[in-house]
Structure 1
Amino acid sequence: MNAQPGIFVSIASYRDAELLPTLHNMLEKASGLSALNITVCWQDDGDISLFQQAGFTLCEKTKSGEHDLFIFAHQGNRLQILCIDYFLSEGACWARSLCEKLYQQEDYCLQIDSHCRFIDGWDIEMISLLQQMKQHSAKPIISSYPPGYQPGKEDEKAEYVSRLVLRGFSSEKILQLTSVDFQSNAPVRGSYLAGGFIFAEARFLREVPNDPLIFFEGEEIAMAVRAFTHGYDIWHPHKILLWHFYGRENHARIWSDHNDEAEKAGSISCVWWERDRLSKKRVKVLLGIEKEACDPGHWGLGNERSLGEFEYAAGISFQHCIALPEVMGKDRIAWFPGPPKEGWQSRLTATSNKTVTIARQELGCDFDELAWLHVGIYSSNNDLLQKKTLFQAEIDRALALEGGEEMSVTLSFTTSFTLQPWVIRISPYLHSAGWGNVVERSW
């Protein structure tokens, strides 16, 4: 008889009241046909008796590095609780990295957040789906943003599946993701993965371990690129495997605890935004957005595929923060198969968004004199990229929103990446005098 397949489950938990319900649900819904080694980096107040009160049997207390490690048993499965005071936390990826050090040669790995619910037989379903994908990819990964649930309302869990797509780029040039629903009779290929749900063969832990210096933002795109360059292919499941608790208003967060007051009190060594600043720089160096000589060690790119090949497969440019039209269009394409096609980069387009506030005194005329207002955006070569004309009704609405002393105009448009916005020209047309003075601002 074949031995049970082993699954190493990694959970980073920060003061999360949903951790114990998640553990119970995971174990209750498992098939019993696999051996689970669940490892939790538990960043909390250290009251380990909560796990005993919840029915877990304490087998051993030991150490993992400088941290206390409690090993529990439950229904033939192993639960490892790495106990860390929450003021000592260094972020989500740091916690995930500590979990990975406790891997014990299981066959598969599952990375989730500490607020999830599961389908019946989730373990066998995930293994089966991954094995099916082995027919298409040598190194598949299953990942997505699971549908949502609300604690206490488990009967109302969402019933959809989604795939990850580009949402845009932050002001700090970090690629950001969102998801769109889809229907299919098989998993669909994608470029991006979700930190809150990754299932793969366990060699993924060795080849693409979590980077402990990435704090939060940038975690998913850094991991996706590293996975791709190590030869992994990402697949979004066509069926629900688990649910995730989104929003989590009024729940503890590291950025509400690791603040100025905590630093002044000596509770923490570094405020959260300092870790975040250094983390984002690390992500930007990895993605080629910034240049800096450094050795990323185990947390760099692989050598099976290149960063440029990832950009083509995803239809984006990290350095220019731009994407192909079909990436941001109605089809929201997130993966382009095959080798890069010649000239594909010339089709990349940039999305620009800006809200322009126009004060009464800036125009040199009374708003009552306006017949219409023309706002134009131009490139450095004086190419008109976008124009917007506000007539009387729109002017009145905009003024009403701002109390009558100024108005705001929202501009959103796409252009070829060779044509970047450079200047805004605001041109009033007056009832009595025609064109008024043009107001010019840099973009």
Structure 2
Amino acid sequence: MKEAPTTYLGVDEKRWGKNTGWIKVDDTICVTTNDGNERCPHYNTQSDAESSLHSSPHSTPPIHLLIASYRDRLCPRTLHNAFSKAKYPNRLFIRIIEQRQPNSDLLDDQSCWDRYCEEYNKSCSQYSQNIYIHNVDSRSSKGPTDARSKLSSLILYDYLHPTSPILSPVSPTDYCMQTDSHMDFSPGFDTSLVEMHGRTKNDYAVLSTYVSPIENTDRNEVEVPLLCMVAFTATMRNWGTKACRNLRTPKLTNALWGAGLSFHRCHGELNVPYDPYLPHVFDGEEVSRGIRFFTFGYDTYAPDLVLVTHDYNGHQGNPVVHTWGGNKGENNNMLRGGEGKEEEGKGFLDEVNRVWDMVDIKGLQRVNLLMGINNSSPTVASKIRASRYGLGTKRTLTQALDFMGVDVVATHLSVKSEWK
């Protein structure tokens, strides 16, 4: 008999708070109705995934994999891992924002696709219709949040132009998946993630966490990372993970979301796109998007299995990948890559570029106004929250912060006073 699911609270009271050790967690938060059935928010009794997942690769819902790569020599291996380990690789559509330096001799600046074809798959042409790479000069990079916003724009473009997509038509009931460019996957990860999403019984579920190290790939780990803590720097950010063991279903979290793995229906990407006006934002990226998901009615869950892993040592040990932070002195009007022009013939950034100069508040100040950390301009904050990249109407910001267990004003002020 499988052991009861548990979650870890911490090893000592000084660092982790009053409660420590492992405690039992409920299998579900769904409500049992009079007929004895469970009902969860946005529960679909017979989704397309559940009805067709194992019937035919042609009827299996597509997965649109979004990757922001910055001078990453591990990107070709990630492509290999994704295509070779998917059960239905032809239903996997990969969009990459590839930021590299032209005319560089470094391996880090070589084409992800070319190296994939040369080093991993001589028959790579079989997947040429399953991948789109948008190249950006790394010298004009404005950080991970900016790059990922371009991926959201790509998804929106292909949704709005189903007969002439840049890569592939996008349906709201398809699956969208975000991860990094230095990853590995368990065999059959694509269908396993769809099945896992189905176990939430919640069509507005978002599977997200800080993923396990690559050494845990396909080891059938019973322990999975759990995002549940925040810290304050110049804003609010995720702080590490705790853990869960022996989960039978994904575990609801307190609305914290991680950029290293996000898996949800594509209506989540369409309803809650990345804000393109956050150049050079690193801290604040994840908590703010988690709050936005929550206010739009989405629920974030920790995965109940380790299906995606991250090469922490191989990536973070390479100093080249950390150089994006040195570009902060550039003109913020330069949203686009290269010489300030998007790839010719592709219009997925047209709307963002058109209004870029009209958006007064960008970057970290915009994040803090959204989350209520900076209350100096309530009128501007209200405008940001009401924008396309702001908050939803299903739940309020106050409800989100209460659910997270955070007092942004008191906590941030106390942290700032300790710095002095």
TM-score bucket of the superposed structures, by smaller chain: 0.5 to 0.7
Moved more, 92-101 or 158-167: 158-167
* CA contact 1:42–1:82 (8 Å) conserved in 2: yes
Partner Cα separation in structure 1 for residue 138 and residue 282 of structure 2:
16
Match of residue 165, structure 1, among 221, 225, 228: 228
- Per the alignment, residue 234 of structure 1 pairs with 300
| Greater RCO (Cα-Cα under 8 Å, separation 6 or more) | 2
Q: 1:101 to 1:210 in 2, by over 3 A?
A: same
Matched residue SS, 2:148: helix
Match of residue 205, structure 1, among 269, 283, 306: 269
* CA contact 2:149–2:275 (8 Å) conserved in 1: yes
Q: 1:124 to 1:157 in 2, by over 3 A?
A: closer
TM-score normalised by structure 2 residue count: 0.64
* CA contact 1:6–1:36 (8 Å) conserved in 2: yes
**CA distances 1:179-230 after superposition (whole Å, capped 9, x unpaired):** 0121122211102010111000000111100112222110000100000000
- Per the alignment, residue 90 of structure 1 pairs with 142
- 2:192 counterpart of 1:125: yes
- 2:177 counterpart of 1:110: yes
More helix by share: 2
- Per the alignment, residue 279 of structure 1 pairs with 363
After TM superposition, the structure 1 = structure 2 runs for residues 2-401 of structure 1, keeping only pairs within 5 Å, are: 3-32=59-88, 35-46=91-102, 51-55=113-117, 73-75=125-127, 78-103=130-155, 104-106=169-171, 107-133=174-200, 135=201, 137-149=202-214, 160-170=223-233, 172-183=234-245, 184-190=247-253, 191-214=255-278, 215-246=281-312, 248-252=316-320, 253-255=322-324, 257-258=326-327, 279-291=363-375, 292=377, 293-294=379-380, 295-296=383-384, 297-321=387-411
Deviation of 1:149 after TM superposition, in Å, equals 2.3
**CA distances 1:381-404 after superposition (whole Å, capped 9, x unpaired):** xxxxxxxxxxxxxxxxxxxxxxxx
Deviation of 1:251 after TM superposition, in Å, equals 3.1
Matched residue SS, 2:392: coil
- Higher Rg: 1
Unaligned runs of at least 5 residues, structure 2: 1-55, 103-108, 119-123, 156-168, 340-360
Deviation of 1:50 after TM superposition, in Å, equals 5.4
Partner Cα separation in structure 2 for residue 4 and residue 154 of structure 1:
24
Partner Cα separation in structure 2 for residue 158 and residue 249 of structure 1:
25
* CA contact 1:149–1:156 (8 Å) conserved in 2: no
Between the two proteins, the alignment pairs up a number of residues equal to 301
User: How large is the RMSD of aligned CA atoms in angstroms?
Assistant: 3.4
TM-score normalised by structure 1 residue count: 0.61
* CA contact 1:33–1:124 (8 Å) conserved in 2: no
Deviation of 1:51 after TM superposition, in Å, equals 2.1
* CA contact 2:64–2:92 (8 Å) conserved in 1: yes
* CA contact 1:147–1:159 (8 Å) conserved in 2: no
**CA distances 1:141-176 after superposition (whole Å, capped 9, x unpaired):** 0001111126xx979998741100214222x24243
Q: 1:186 to 1:115 in 2, by over 3 A?
A: same
* CA contact 2:138–2:324 (8 Å) conserved in 1: no
Partner Cα separation in structure 1 for residue 176 and residue 308 of structure 2:
15
Runs of 4+ in structure 1 displaced over 3 angstroms?
46-50, 72-77, 153-160, 254-257, 266-269, 349-355
